[in-house]
Each structure stands twice: as C-alpha cells, then as structure tokens.
Structure 1
C-alpha cells in the first residue's frame, strides 16, 4: 500500500520571500514608527513657553523680511552711488544691521568680515571671494550688479 500524501502549502516564490527595499522599505519603516508615535508625540510636544518663543521668533523674522523688501525696492531706485541707502534689518534680531553701508560706494570700503556679518544677518549665501561677497551684498541691498 502506498503512503498517503498530505496536502502541503505550495512553495513561496522569491518575490514573496524577499525583504522590502527602497521605497517599500522606507514606507514599511515609516509605518512601523507611526504605530509607536502616539506615545512619543506627547514627549516631543513643546511647552507653551517654547511655542510662544517660536511664534515670536517667526514674527520677528517676518517683520524684518517685510521691512527689507520695502528697503530693497527703495534702494533699487537710487541713481547715484552717493545717495543714502535704506538700511536692512537682521532676520535674527529684527533690528537694523550694524555697520550697514550708508551709500553704495561705501560697500567697497567694507572689510570682508563686515560683509560676512551683514550677509549672515540676512541669512544669505556667503560663499566666494571678497569681490563675489560684495556683489552678493549689493544684490541683497537691492542694487543692480556692478557692470563687468
């Protein structure tokens, strides 16, 4: 008499046994973290004081950006290099930037350290050599680029 065969599950294909990778792996990892998130979300929630400070910081930056845009428009209308510039505000403090040049011809007199400090206060790119930085400052102020 022949032995009776018991029905068994069919063998899985390599696609069914493969571990997720790429986008699928990232989605799976994200889903795994999402199930743990509710308990952690309470820990990460900022205190009312921290939230108020964040709002005040954002408000300061927004006011400075608006004031700077107005100053840039006014500065862009200047026709001579000895006309007074409207100073820009620091995006970090909301106050006028220290050592801001009074006129466009004063930009050339600034040290590279001062130019860096002004660009930093405007959260602008500071890469490049001194002439490049001064040109970036001219553009941040609202002036036309120096002709080549």
Structure 2
C-alpha cells in the first residue's frame, strides 16, 4: 500500500521572508559588480538600479531608515512646550546624516539665514517656494512644530 499525502500547501509570505538587509547581499550574488564612475553617481534611481542593484537597494534602505528617524524626531519635537526646548535634529534624506546648521531650538529658526532655511528644506526634499515667512513656517511644520500663531 502506498501512502500519498495530498498536494503540498504553498508557503506563506511570513515563511519565505528574508531577514532585513539581506536583499542587498543576495542581489550582489546575482549581479556582477560594475565600477562606479563619477557620471553614474548623478544618474537617476532607475539607471542606478539597472547598473548596480546593490547600490540602489542600499540607497533605499538608507532613505527608509532616515525617514523613520525623522518621523521619530518630529513626534518628539511636537511635544516641546517652550521656544527654548532642545529640538531633535532631522537628517538629510539623500545622505542619511544630520542636517548641517539645524536649529537647536524653535527660537533658532527665526535666526537662521534664508539660505540656511532653503538648504534645510532641500535636505528634507520639501517645497522651497514662497517668501521668507512661508519658508520658515514650512520648516517649522517639517520639524514637527505647530504653526506660529497669527
């Protein structure tokens, strides 16, 4: 007598999931590494992904970690009660590093030069249009602060 077990059940996504961070390592095994040139550093994400999938995945992982860290900082900053409370600095979405010349307090936003406000908004990939007041208000919102009262 031969025993037959029924058709095998397909694995669930949880059973086939890989540990975080292994996607880049597996892509490196599948795709041969190509030399990085100065021109390829400025290419679009789609071009980078085709040329070097490992680098594209690493950039995506950096951006995701940065977005998460910035969201945590925004929540903490939203709980401040005075203009002299210390802000948690945000990080650049492109580099994943703390933004240079980030104000230490909400009172420091008014003291920033307009070029610095623009640079911070650019690092956060935020809209930079409008007058000086609109830009400072936008920065306050991106940091997690409430709008200035009228």
Task: Tell me which interval the TM-score lies in, with the shorter structure as reference length.
Answer: 0.5 to 0.7
3-state SS, counterpart of residue 98 of structure 1? coil
Q: What TM-score do you get using the length of structure 1 for normalisation?
A: 0.68
Counterpart residue number, 2:85: 83
| C-alpha distance in structure 2 between counterparts of 1:126 and 1:46, whole Å | 31
**Paired residue for 2:118?**
116
Superimposed CA distance per residue, residues 11-52 of structure 1 (whole angstroms, 9 cap, x where no aligned partner): xxxxxxxxxxxxxxxxxxxxxxxxxxxxxxxxx8824xx111
> Which of structure 1's runs of 4+ aligned residues deviate more than 6 A?
none
Superposition TM-score, scaled by structure 2 size: 0.67
Instruction: Work out the CA distance in 1 between the residues paired with 2:73 and 2:101.
Output: 16
Within 5 A, what are the aligned runs for 1:1-80?
46-47=50-51, 50-80=52-82
The yes-or-no answer on 1:106 pairing with 2:113 is: no
Partner of 2:144: 142
Give the RMSD, CA atoms, in angstroms: 1.2
Summarize deviations over 1:73-96 as a string: whole Å, max 9, x none: 000000000000000010000000
> Which structure has more helix as a fraction of its residues?
1
Shift of 1:122: 0.3
Unaligned runs of 5+ residues in structure 2 are: 1-46
Larger radius of gyration: 1
